[in-house]
Structure 1
Amino acid sequence: MVVDTALRLTRDHGLDGWTVRQLAHALGTWPNTIAHHVGDRDAVLDAVVQRVVALMPNPPADLGWQEWFRALLLPSRDIIAGYTGVARRLVRDGATVPAALPIMDRGIGLLADAGFGPRAPLAYAVLLNTSMLLIALDDDRKLAGRGRGEAAADLMAMAPPAGAGAGWEAMRPWLREWADDPDASRERLYRYTIESLLTGLEADRAAGAGR
């Protein structure tokens, strides 16, 4: 009951948007009762992160390693983003909750079997940390009250730099898309980042296999 309510408060207000006193009020109890049954606020936050990570998929191991990470990371964006602050905590503390261990075990195992060898944990960390950092960045913008589209609008309103060339012109359609549909732009950036990482890691795997 305590963690269920804390999860709801996190979904509505973010991980740092509620206090133990507010949690106790929502439960109709006292803060020391929560401390007795669950622990201090950090313990409650750990339990919330555990619940959110448990919502992430752990795709079947018979997928190829690249397809496995797509099946993990693409759906996980919406899951984690639904609980503002969880991504930043995962980046800060690492995935130090029990629900993350089966995902970690399978993902690193697939990378090792694919030929990454001792670099498998590093490859896993690159993929997971980068994906969580992108989600955390969107969280920070939301908490600051600054939409992603505002930055694009500001850039489009600026005068071109002296001697601006093809780069400035190539950027303008992207900025227009960014300003007009920031949600689609965020998703596109997220997907492009994951695909770029997978491509780079495949090159690293192939180079390592040849050594």
Structure 2
Amino acid sequence: MSDASTSPRPARGRPPRLDQARTIDTALALLDDSGLDALTMRRLADAMGVQAGALYRYFRTKDDLLAAMAERMMADVRVPAGAVDWSGRLSGLARALRQALLAHRDGARVFAGTHSTGPGTLGFAEACVGVLRDAGFGDADAARAMMAVVHFTVGHTLEEQAALRPDGGFPADPEVLREAVTAGGYPHLTAALPTLAEPDYAPHFEFGLALLVTGLAARVSPS
């Protein structure tokens, strides 16, 4: 047991300097401020006012921290209400996932590959698989369809966030693309340039999501 004379307690009424929830919130704040590449365990410890080794009480590795951050983002996903048919409910879930990832800088990079098993992540997957099973998909197809929707959404959002500057602008100059396409003699790309240079990714997402859901609808067995 620690000696009280050498281990001062936090002031009464003040939250402890380090706890898991506050550490995750601070990590997300640092992520929003500087991006994933600048988020290190040492910088997080400095922001919490502790030694870096203290973080390992809750997170053995940075991957463990990223999984906890992904789970915290998933806690903000809400199953949409109002859609009557399964395709509308599934599309609403995909949109909700995209918005949760877009809510944080590099959110899709944090989420990708973390494989969280927390209630937020599992609750989202449960909702997706439930919608698909209710629609008539078998168990295996429902699982694969859920993964296809998640992978499309995360991959699209990765590209979307990679194109965004921290201030919300876009680093790519459409004129650079326009000059390269027209100078190179690409008539089909020239015809498609207005869409290719469009900085709003929402229509691109909706188009791809509609294709995916339409393909799933063609596959599902009749009830």
Give the structure-1-normalised TM-score.
0.80
Instruction: Give secondary structure in 1 for the equivalent of 2:39.
Output: coil
Instruction: Give secondary structure in 2 for the equivalent of 1:58.
Output: coil
Match of 1:68 among 55, 79, 89: 89
Alignment of 1:1-211 (within 5 A): 1-59=22-80, 63-117=84-138, 118-142=140-164, 147=170, 149-150=172-173, 152-158=174-180, 159=182, 167-168=188-189, 170-175=191-196, 178=198, 182=199, 184=200, 186-205=201-220, 208-209=221-222
Given that 2:79 and 2:96 are in contact with CA atoms closer than 8 Å, whether structure 1 keeps it comes out as no
Q: Which runs of 4+ in 1 moved over 6 A?
A: none
Tell me the CA shift for residue 29 of structure 1: 1.3
Higher alpha-carbon Rg: 2
Tell me the CA shift for residue 20 of structure 1: 1.1
Structure 1's 127 and 37: CA in aligned 2 closer, same or farther, altered over 3 A? closer
What percentage of residue pairs aligned between the two structures are identical?
A: 24
Tell me the CA shift for residue 131 of structure 1: 0.6
**In 1, Cα distance between the equivalents of 2:95 and 2:212?**
13
Tell me the CA shift for residue 62 of structure 1: 7.7
**In 1, Cα distance between the equivalents of 2:184 and 2:61?**
53
Tell me the CA shift for residue 148 of structure 1: 6.4
Structure 1's 67 and 31: CA in aligned 2 closer, same or farther, altered over 3 A? same
RMSD between aligned alpha carbons?
2.9
One-letter amino acid of the counterpart of residue 75, structure 2: A
One-letter amino acid of the counterpart of residue 222, structure 2: A
Structure 1's 28 and 198: CA in aligned 2 closer, same or farther, altered over 3 A? same
Per-residue CA deviation, residues 85-108 of structure 1 (Å, 9 max, x unaligned), is 332343324454431111111211
Tell me the CA shift for residue 160 of structure 1: 5.7
**In 1, Cα distance between the equivalents of 2:26 and 2:104?**
13
The answer for unaligned runs of 5 or more in structure 1 is: none
**In 1, Cα distance between the equivalents of 2:158 and 2:212?**
18
**In 2, Cα distance between the equivalents of 1:35 and 1:50?**
18
| Greater helix fraction, Structure 1 or Structure 2 | 1
The answer for unaligned runs of 5 or more in structure 2 is: 1-21
Given that 1:56 and 1:76 are in contact with CA atoms closer than 8 Å, whether structure 2 keeps it comes out as yes
**2:14 corresponds to which residue?**
none
Tell me the CA shift for residue 157 of structure 1: 1.0
**In 1, Cα distance between the equivalents of 2:89 and 2:25?**
30
